[in-house]
Structure 1
Amino acid sequence: MAGGSASLHFRSLHEGFHGSIKNLTQDFVVTEIDLHGQLVNSPDAPEGPIIRINDDIKDVPPKDSIRAKLLTEETHSNEITIDAVCLNDGEVSGQECYDLSVILSSSTNKSLEHFASTIRGCSEVQKNLEMSLGVFPDKHQRAVVHSAVKYTYPFLMTATNHEEILVREDPDFRELSNLVSVEEAEDFFRFKDAKVPGSKYTFSPDDIKEHRTSVHHFLSRKFGKLLETKSFMEHGRTAITVRLRDRGRRARKRTAADQDEQEIYTGFTLRKDNLETLEAISYMAAELGVLPSDFSYAGIKDKRAITYQLMVVKKISPERLLAKADMFERKGLQLSKIHPVSEPIRLGRLAGNRFDLVIRDLKPHACSFRDLESLVKEAVENVKTLGFVNYYGPQRFGSSQKVQADQVGLALLKEDTVNTMWLFLSPEEGDDHENKAKQHFYQTGNAKESLALMPLHKARERMMLRALHRYGTGPEGGVQAWLSLPHSMRVFYLHAYCSRLWNEAACFRLQTLGPRPVQGDLVVVHACRESQKEDTHASQVHVVTSAEELEGVFSLDQVVLPMPGNSVKYPENTVGSWYRERLEQDGLSSCRFRISSLKLNVPGCYRPLLSYPRNFSYSLHTNKDTQDTEQKPEHRTHMTMTFNLNASCYATVCLREIMKCDP
């Protein structure tokens, strides 16, 4: 297990055994358990808390299907807690994709680049110069093309003529760029086209009143129905801020079509085989003509496994999704139980996961003289009774990576955005296309060339490289590169660092204070094994008193440890001192767990010290290996097992406790 597994504490003292997992993807099957306690691939499982839409639902494409949260993605600390980003609870999130090399053919994209270059080189508006991008019969695809072109080339405007998309220069951009810098004009037009509710854009400070008046008049004349402007003074300088008008004040009456656009959500069960969840979402989004962020899910699942999980996609009707099912299946994605729903899924909205596993080549440890059957029986019974220490598994940190997620998170908490950008794009071992792109960036610092080398499915890396190409690799570029990633991805790295500290704190707590609750420990009074979650509030956490320790009022499975953040309290014993010293050691003694420049906030939460598998069953199977006929056939034993775990708990950690080694 990544992160110094040798130092991690075991709960029980049985001998354990050797074995290997994930030899085949079918050896590791993960199935979500919904909030009703049903397996999501079960034919009897309910389709979820839905409000059914009329059976004759029409596939009405939303007018703003590509409308993205570009500039003012807000942090909702009350909605995204630390448990929303473990392996089962949300590594990623949506990724807005404006990559024209993916959306358009190679020849069309090159022609568009040449057309844009020609427009840029002209000294005045080219009213009669336009280009056709081709015919796009699908309305959703047209919406994607329109928004991607305007985001990439803010000085261009697009129009549809009988399903054909035409591109020409936007004269309004030319006029504004005569009043402000080209870079500011580009940022303003992206802000305007994104139409993010509650967002604002501020131009650079301008001390010339007459010039500010000209900018005010231009914005009012061209975009007065959409925007409102105001000058304000800060630090002795005056600047113009632009805000979107409150759409609620508009006189236009909402139509039935408007209502349909906002309420089209389709739920389904996704089966994937040896594929990352985010890669699967990126593929489906590209085929459907929506953003990856239009997909929601309760939790991320393993890559090296067969997994079943609930998902919801917005802006797509069940009919459209069903029509793409065969195409998805060729990618290894199987969709079932497709049905209309009323809302997206929130991270963590699952009861847990069932694991159906095969452990191959079972053998006693070298020092053992006991038979394998008795070793396995003792191990399973101990873990069923005593549980296991609820560590975060290696998936949380990136078990095969040289630069792990918690290292990136630590640098982010120190607000060293330039260093974290280089850490994020660090090349790994190997000569695959992704590593070649990263190696090129490390050697040259050329984001544009590295972007051309980066595989199309690596959406996060491509978004960061695009931002670095636009803003440079200095401090501003570092901030903009991180802001180009979705909020859930940015905060994931902070949570990875906090998870590493939690693992170390759990080790220290058990080694120092033993297997019973002691004075100063934090406990959840009404906790039970079946319902332990990380979303415990501080008001539910109780500090064990001296009298309660002596009377043995609480058990170890009620003890919780805090995930660091700005809204948690720490144990009132030596463990609390350990947290403070450990944060100081990492240079975070004064850390507020907020990074305003990246719109990140980590409130923290409480994680149970122990976890318990439920509905555990297993069986041993012995086969003769007769491949080598010249030698005596060797007996090989494998073990099949099935068990359930609460959400955010790791099967690999449970197996480590059972086997007393890294599986």
Structure 2
Amino acid sequence: MEPETKKARLESGPPETDAITNPTCRVDNQYDDISCDSSPVTKETDNKEVRSSNSQTEDVKFVKETDVGILCYINDLPGCHGVIKQRYSDFIVNEVDVNGKVVELTKLEVDKISEEKVQDEEEESFKLPEDVMKTLLALSSESESEMAPAFINLESMDDKELRTKYHQTIKSKFPGLDSSTVTQDEKKVIKVVKKANTKMKNRWKNEWPAGRGNYCQFVLYKENRDTMSAINDIARFLSVNRNIFQYAGTKDKRAKTSQEITVYRMFAERLEELNTRMKYMHFGNYRYVNEPLRLGKCQGNKFTIVLRNITGDDETLDKSMMSLKEKGFINYFGMQRFGTTSIPTHHIGRAVLKNDYEEAVNLILKPRPGETGKIVECRQCWERNKDPVEALIGLPNQNAIEKTILKELKSNKHNFCNAFQKIARNTKLMYLHAYQSYLWNSVASQRIKQHGLQPVIGDLVLTEEIQELHEIIGDLVLTEEIQELHESEDSENKDINIIQPIVLDDKNVSQYSILDVVLPLPGHDVTYPENQVRKWYETLLAGDGLTLDSFKHKIKSLSLPGAYRKIVIKPGDVGWKLYRYNDVNVELALSDLDRLQKKAEPSFEQDGQFKALKIEMTLPSSCYATMALREVLKIDTSASYQSTLNVT
């Protein structure tokens, strides 16, 4: 844009309108210098739905940023090409705990003090043979439907003292197993079977040492696994209910991550033994604490990210990184929020808010490109004849959402509401939260287009005093974790709605910056800005046949109270470095486990064929690192688009 044109626009001010448009806008390095292009984003109507509406959802090939309201940038620098997560090892995440300490896996062994148990020295000194340990670990990890007894044969089974040591050690190390001596083929052997969970819980209660904290807190290191899947696997291996585990936040799947977990009354050495049993997960840094972790009880995450196959000159990259460090980025909900298939999750959420459960179910079961296996036949069958019995044939348990819905429809083919209600509560809320996120992104883009990066009268802010008060009652402010806590069935923080934002007026607007301004994640228990912004929410909702009152759902578990989210976030501890390399498969950053295994720092080729940008930064909870990276790259961050950039 020519300087004269930019100046003319600034002097005339932003156009006054209540309409929601599709702007392509950029905001220059200075918060008071805006460059916006209000021409419509190019619509590719043959492969995507640009605007939500009451009509049937159109087929999409994949979801783009423009489909979910991600339109603007902070800076006006030219972008560059670069691959995000070409390898999952390029994305390393370390949780930052509530005290600001970076969570790291630094040891795998149980500390001598932490592993003390009520037992005599003779029992402690006896070790089960390695093959027996593997057998017992396998038995303890089996589901109830798979479990069969294990038999231990010893050369000296007539030695009662030796058998007693085996029974005592099994009893101590595997509270979920029962052992007994039986006769098999005229020989005495030790038979080991799995206990029922109820018996196991009572056993823990009776044996837990007096004076010890009720929770074992440990660091979970995982690779290429999401947090919930990891916890489900751990619970399955240990034959315990997954609900005894707690965490402060979920971490990325395609990444190497370290975070703290608490588990109710579990000996640390039971977790330690899993280090040799479970793939892509490691456990360590154990301690016993009195209170469990709660969702939101962390300050954020530290990221170490490698962007591969970077183009663009080094000077421009340095300027882009300096802008990210000094000015921050627009705090959009990232593409992960909306799913990775051709069916955006917010479309399902929209259908639920409209009480159109048939549409929601059909979207969940709709065929989508790129899938393989029995789920493809299942979806095709449902689309063809809507027969749940036929669609269920051969469908594996891993497709839990689809299987749950179809099993319920098998009982009552037309009760789509009940079928949707049968799926896991977190999954149902995921769809609803995605629709809220779509609205937030769209309004944030319009807010920046209309008013730039300055506070205006009617905006909302949350002061430091309010944030401190909110931390005292047990949550961190400005995250959707607040909303999830408020919605949770066992929430101990029902007074969360005492947090009220301040509405800016002509007397206090000059006291704040854009870094203080928040937009509501729409819900039935939030305050809306007292300016055009409220109208923008209403206009978007009206286009989908909804109103602000729609978030007060007639099914209580589907009601959404809402939350507040900062428009702009400035990362902390920002650092970066450019490297050259030749091998596209070489790892370019070290994880906690790499350091524990004393791997050498990655070496870089001075005249390498490819260029990589290594970035370190810390972000608050619920912020998306990909949205920070997009300020540097200026390209679509969706997984489907990024996969087209991979160098193989």
TM more than 0.5: yes
Work out whether 1:26 is the aligned partner of 2:92.
Answer: no
- Tell me, yes or no, if the aligned pair for 2:114 and 2:287 is still in contact at 8 Å: no
Partner of 2:618: 644
Distance 1:271 1:165, change over 3 A: closer
Partner of 1:284: 234
Partner of 1:257: 206
Distance 1:483 1:274, change over 3 A: same
CA distance in 1, matches of 2:537, 2:409: 36
Work out whether 1:373 is the aligned partner of 2:414.
Answer: no
Distance 1:623 1:401, change over 3 A: closer
Matches within 5 A, 1:466-477: 466-469=407-410, 471-475=411-415
Distance 1:625 1:496, change over 3 A: closer
CA distance in 1, matches of 2:298, 2:305: 20
| CA RMSD of superposed structures (Å) | 4.0
**Structure 1 position 658, deviation (Å):** 1.7
Q: 1:546 aligns with which of 493, 503, 506?
A: 506
Q: Please give the per-residue CA displacement for 1:133-153, whole angstroms capped at 9, x wherever unaligned.
A: xxx9977479xxxxxxxxxxx
TM-score, length basis structure 2: 0.64
CA distance in 2, matches of 1:485, 1:491: 10
CA distance in 2, matches of 1:626, 1:599: 47
**Structure 1 position 407, deviation (Å):** 0.9
**Structure 1 position 618, deviation (Å):** 0.9
Work out whether 1:493 is the aligned partner of 2:431.
Answer: yes
**Structure 1 position 285, deviation (Å):** 1.9
Matches within 5 A, 1:228-627: 257=206, 264-314=214-264, 316-328=266-278, 331-364=279-312, 372-398=313-339, 400-429=340-369, 430-443=371-384, 445-447=386-388, 450-451=391-392, 453-469=394-410, 471-475=411-415, 478-526=416-464, 533-534=478-479, 535=482, 539-549=499-509, 552-589=510-547, 591-597=549-555, 599-623=557-581
- Tell me, yes or no, if the aligned pair for 2:378 and 2:391 is still in contact at 8 Å: yes
SS at match of 1:29: strand
State which drifts further: 30-39 or 255-264: 255-264
CA distance in 2, matches of 1:657, 1:43: 33
**Structure 1 position 533, deviation (Å):** 3.0
CA distance in 2, matches of 1:451, 1:141: 35
CA distance in 2, matches of 1:454, 1:326: 32
**Structure 1 position 565, deviation (Å):** 0.5
- Tell me, yes or no, if the aligned pair for 1:529 and 1:612 is still in contact at 8 Å: no
Matches within 5 A, 1:101-116: 103-105=144-146
**Structure 1 position 661, deviation (Å):** 1.9
Q: Please give the per-residue CA displacement for 1:71-117, whole angstroms capped at 9, x wherever unaligned.
A: xxxxxxxxxxxxxxxxxxxxxxxxxxxxxx96324999xxxxxxxxx
CA distance in 2, matches of 1:266, 1:460: 31
SS at match of 2:520: strand
**Structure 1 position 410, deviation (Å):** 0.9
- Tell me, yes or no, if the aligned pair for 1:406 and 1:500 is still in contact at 8 Å: yes
**Structure 1 position 7, deviation (Å):** 5.5
CA distance in 1, matches of 2:337, 2:399: 19
The alignment-based identity, stated in percent, is 30
Gaps of 5+ in 1: 59-100, 109-135, 143-161, 168-192, 195-253, 365-371, 628-632
Distance 1:256 1:358, change over 3 A: closer
- Tell me, yes or no, if the aligned pair for 1:498 and 1:564 is still in contact at 8 Å: yes
**Structure 1 position 284, deviation (Å):** 1.8
- Tell me, yes or no, if the aligned pair for 1:413 and 1:593 is still in contact at 8 Å: yes
- Tell me, yes or no, if the aligned pair for 1:532 and 1:608 is still in contact at 8 Å: no
Distance 1:321 1:482, change over 3 A: farther
- Tell me, yes or no, if the aligned pair for 2:105 and 2:285 is still in contact at 8 Å: no
CA distance in 2, matches of 1:406, 1:546: 37
**Structure 1 position 363, deviation (Å):** 1.1
Aligned length: 467
2:304 maps to amino acid: D
Distance 1:102 1:625, change over 3 A: closer
Partner of 2:21: none
Q: Please give the per-residue CA displacement for 1:560-591, whole angstroms capped at 9, x wherever unaligned.
A: 00011011111111111111121222111263
CA distance in 1, matches of 2:67, 2:456: 27
CA distance in 2, matches of 1:383, 1:500: 24
**Structure 1 position 456, deviation (Å):** 3.1
**Structure 1 position 653, deviation (Å):** 0.3
SS at match of 1:347: coil
- Tell me, yes or no, if the aligned pair for 2:524 and 2:548 is still in contact at 8 Å: no
CA distance in 1, matches of 2:584, 2:399: 44
CA distance in 1, matches of 2:82, 2:205: 60
SS at match of 1:642: strand
**Structure 1 position 605, deviation (Å):** 1.0
CA distance in 2, matches of 1:18, 1:356: 19
1:350 maps to amino acid: C
TM-score, length basis structure 1: 0.63
SS at match of 1:618: strand
CA distance in 1, matches of 2:405, 2:515: 42
- Tell me, yes or no, if the aligned pair for 1:562 and 1:569 is still in contact at 8 Å: yes
CA distance in 2, matches of 1:102, 1:446: 30
**Structure 1 position 361, deviation (Å):** 1.3
State which drifts further: 2-11 or 389-398: 2-11
2:347 maps to amino acid: Q
CA distance in 1, matches of 2:234, 2:584: 45
Partner of 2:100: 37
- Tell me, yes or no, if the aligned pair for 1:483 and 1:598 is still in contact at 8 Å: no
CA distance in 2, matches of 1:255, 1:660: 54
- Tell me, yes or no, if the aligned pair for 1:564 and 1:605 is still in contact at 8 Å: yes
**Structure 1 position 483, deviation (Å):** 3.2
2:629 maps to amino acid: L
**Structure 1 position 260, deviation (Å):** 8.4
**Structure 1 position 43, deviation (Å):** 4.0
**Structure 1 position 515, deviation (Å):** 1.8
SS at match of 2:511: coil
Q: 1:56 aligns with which of 88, 103, 117?
A: 117
Distance 1:486 1:25, change over 3 A: same
CA distance in 1, matches of 2:413, 2:539: 34
CA distance in 2, matches of 1:492, 1:285: 22
- Tell me, yes or no, if the aligned pair for 1:408 and 1:424 is still in contact at 8 Å: yes
CA distance in 2, matches of 1:486, 1:563: 23
**Structure 1 position 481, deviation (Å):** 3.0
Distance 1:336 1:442, change over 3 A: farther
Distance 1:55 1:28, change over 3 A: same
- Tell me, yes or no, if the aligned pair for 1:436 and 1:453 is still in contact at 8 Å: no
1:496 maps to amino acid: A
Gaps of 5+ in 2: 1-63, 120-141, 150-169, 179-190, 469-475, 483-495, 586-606, 638-648
CA distance in 2, matches of 1:391, 1:53: 42
CA distance in 2, matches of 1:496, 1:140: 39
CA distance in 1, matches of 2:584, 2:372: 38
**Structure 1 position 654, deviation (Å):** 0.1
Q: Please give the per-residue CA displacement for 1:414-444, whole angstroms capped at 9, x wherever unaligned.
A: 1222322232233322223444444444445
